Amino acid sequence: MRLGILAFIIALFFPLFIKNKMWALYVSMIIYGIGGGFFWAVIVGSVGKEAPKGQENRRSAIFSVSWSIGKAFGYLFGELLKGILGIKSFYIALACLITIEIIYPIRLPKEVRERLKSEKQEKEKKDNQHSTQLNDIHIEMNDSHIIDNSTTGRNENEIINKEELNFKKKDEKVRYKWEGGEYKNKTYIYIGYIFNFAIKGTNWVISSQYIKLVKDFDIKINLFGANPNEMFVGVFFFCLYLAQTTSLVLMALTTQWTYRRSVILLGFIVTVILYLVMALSNCNWLLCILSYIAGLSSGFANQTSVYYSLRASTNNKGLFVGLSEITSGSGMTILPLVAGLLAKAYNDNHVPLYINICVIIMCIIVFDIIYRLMYFINSRRNAKRLSREEQPTPLSTVTQPQKPNNTSDEADDIQIPVEMVPTPLVGEQDTSPSEISRDDNQSLDSQEKE
């Protein structure tokens, strides 16, 4: 986290002190991207991991609200400060980053530390119990080579044989059927990736290249002496990200929006309408209204992908959140590059918007194909799993019959196979039970004859 903020600080130095050099801007963006890699995925994954069970949606939405509202006011005040201070406005951004670097907490929150500590203690307790059960298996023999169970102080039922241990291990690996949201999440996680790729990628296209079309259309907003065209861009994106923030706040309060395909399709359609109007109209108030509506879709796309990723796995939340960020990041990287190259090749600033429209339409088609395909695959996979009411077939185990409690002080005698009876050495008297009983019988017969 701190390395990421430090990279942001270093990235600001290049355009601030090396002016009018394009290579300095490229180097700054590379360092900025490296800082984002240290910062973004780590924070999003940590938010989900640190959240209590059932609170993942709320915590992740609060985090998204924080960066979204920062982005909204960043566009608004960024254009305003640039018009007033020029390049010196970078010093304000630099001061903000240094402040965050200093005040960012070094330790985990107290509740997270306590939860991790309790989980560690619980794991150690289970490991100790498991090792104790294995060590309790022992056999004692007395001088007469007879096994005495009473000296062990344990009932035979407490002895866990090897077959029973294997059965327990097998029982832990039993895969039960997915139900409800768990079953739907196996499909919607891929839909969330596609949705987020399309919306975030196309948003980055217009955020980097719409300014050219604004100047061609001469769309203006006169405010505080700033450049009218640049001020319109600032207000336009302020409306978009303010709506995104509103959407994230609403999604943090409820989960009624989850697993609804129609809402995702509506988000695609609203975004396409915005890009069509942007390509044709120069009406500033109409564009700002549509940007606000499209911003609601943008917030929904972001939280959809994060929510389904956090629900994909209990132990690998960071992995799936990382995949979500990789998907959206690839859209934010590839689409602006392709749009810029084609716009320059055709010498037409409308091209980026046409590309956005084509990308959204293709993603709608892929979205529908993936939806149907994954539901078919997951239904086949789920059919092979056990229902919650069914029990796995137990392994055949050898159990010893339980003996009734013996109130006498005498030990319970267990018959020993012949192979286990020790053979007497040469010249040694055979004291086996069979020989002793035979000698006794012979002495009794001789006495009767006398």
What is the predicted pLDDT for the residue at 176? Answer: 63
Question: Please, what are the domains in the chain?
Answer: 2-109+181-383 (1.20.1250.20)
What is the predicted pLDDT for the residue at 83? Answer: 77
CA distance 428 to 171: 53
For residue 147, the cross-strand partners are 141
Which pair of structure tokens corresponds to residue 126? Answer: 């289970």
Q: Which of 98, 105, 124, 136 is nearest to 5 (CA)?
A: 98
Say if pTM beats, i.e. exceeds, 0.75: no
Report whether 268 contacts 360 (CB < 8 A): yes
For residue 141, the cross-strand partners are 147
What is the predicted pLDDT for the residue at 128? Answer: 76
Show the DSSP H helices in 347-432 as ranges: 351-383
CA distance 332 to 328: 6
What is the predicted pLDDT for the residue at 62? Answer: 83
CA distance 39 to 318: 13
For residue 394, the cross-strand partners are none
CA distance 242 to 413: 83
φ/ψ of 176, rounded to 5, equals -90, 165
CA distance 324 to 193: 6
Which pair of structure tokens corresponds to residue 211? Answer: 């300014």
CA distance 359 to 357: 5
Show the DSSP H helices in 18-109 as ranges: 22-50, 56-85, 90-103
Report whether 28 contacts 9 (CB < 8 A): no
Tokens 């050099």 found at: 21
CA distance 426 to 234: 107
What is the predicted pLDDT for the residue at 314? Answer: 66
pLDDT tens track, the chain, 450 positions: 778 888 888 988 888 888 888 888 889 889 988 888 787 767 776 776 677 766 777 787 788 888 888 888 888 888 788 878 888 888 888 888 888 888 876 666 677 777 778 888 888 887 777 666 655 555 454 454 444 454 444 455 544 455 555 555 454 566 766 666 677 888 888 999 999 999 999 999 998 889 889 988 889 888 776 788 888 999 999 999 999 999 988 888 888 888 888 999 999 999 999 999 999 988 999 999 999 999 999 999 988 888 888 777 766 766 787 788 888 889 998 999 999 999 999 999 999 999 999 999 999 999 999 999 988 888 887 777 766 666 555 544 444 445 455 444 444 444 444 444 455 544 444 444 444 444 555 554 555 444
